Amino acid sequence: MKQVDEWQAESQLAMHGWDFSHLDGRWRSEQLPWNYRDLVKANLEDDLMWLDVDTGGGELMDSFKHPENKTVVTEGWAPNLKLLREKYANSDVTVIADSNEDLSNVSNNSFDIITNSHGALAIQETLNKLRPSGLFITEQVGATNNFALSRFLDPNYNPAYPDNTLIDACARLQYAGMRVEQQAVAFSKMSFFDVGAIVYYATVIPWEFPNFSVEACLPRLHQLDQLIKEQGSIATFADRFMIVARKPA
């Protein structure tokens, strides 16, 4: 019972922003063949107006140290939006609520560069918000992310965003009038070293584990625990793709 109590405790933990430090040492992901941060940094000059879509808790955005008066962020999830408003209350960073994740509250033709790390893809609106020759950089979580683990815990699971693929996104960008300059897809191995880490992960990402609870999945969790004891870890695969696209001049 102690083990199950520990799993239950993991399921009660909340995540602030987009911070998985609670799992440090308890999981590992293979490196992607590209580095999203490097892609953004190489194109983010200080004089550019920048929009960061679905910025989470602003952790990644902060790391670029872009001038605050040229930085605008959107966020749709209420807990993160509250966090951002408190965090940037005394700064020149502009925080825009985007509960529908459609950029409808963002001004058109206002940005030289738009970035989107794992956020919703409102492609036509992204084009509308960019100035002529503006750049769009995104890294996305693909449709089959963690499919094996999600399906194991829930045999009826189907991906929440089945059309979020590199092919579909590139085609929609081109149809909207943008030029795709770079694109790539990768499936990187993700390993978990204890079941509590899996419980925490499944709890904070409900769109990939929509019916998850310790009680409902207990027999499967015990099976995963046995596999980890025998093998040292269990593996699933992260589905990622990246695109760099430009609006015509």
**Mean pLDDT over the full length of the chain:** 96
> Total domain count for the chain?
1
Task: Using CB atoms within 10 Å of the CB of residue 227, give its burial: 0 to 12 exposed, 13 to 18 middle, 19+ buried.
Answer: middle
How many CB atoms are closer than 10 A to CB 104?
11
Give 42-58 pLDDT, tens digit per residue. Answer: 999 999 999 999 999 99
The CATH number assigned to the domain holding 99 equals 3.40.50.150
Residue 15's pLDDT is: 78
Which range marks the domain in which residue 203 is found? 2-246
pLDDT band at 18 (very low <50, low <70, confident <90, very high): confident
Give 69-128 pLDDT, tens digit per residue. Answer: 999 999 998 989 999 999 999 999 999 999 999 999 999 999 999 999 999 999 999 999
pLDDT band at 19 (very low <50, low <70, confident <90, very high): confident
Distance, C-alpha 200 to centroid of its chain: 16
DSSP string, 32-49: PSS-HHHHHHHH--TTS-
Which is nearest to 141 in space by CA: 77, 212, 207, 63? 207
Give 173-201 pLDDT, tens digit per residue. Answer: 999 999 999 999 999 999 999 999 999 99
Residue 2's pLDDT is: 83
Give 114-169 pLDDT, tens digit per residue. Answer: 999 999 999 999 999 999 999 999 999 999 999 999 999 999 999 999 999 999 99
Residue 29 has pLDDT above 90, yes or no: yes
Distance, in Å, from the CA atom of 98 to the CA atom of 180, rounded to the nearest integer, reads 26
Contact 198, 191 (CB under 8 A): no
Residue 128's pLDDT is: 98
pTM of the full structure: 0.91
> Mean pLDDT over residues 225-236, rounded?
97
Residue 152's pLDDT is: 97
The answer for residues whose C-beta is within 8 angstroms of residue 45's C-beta and 6 or more apart is none
Residue 209's pLDDT is: 96
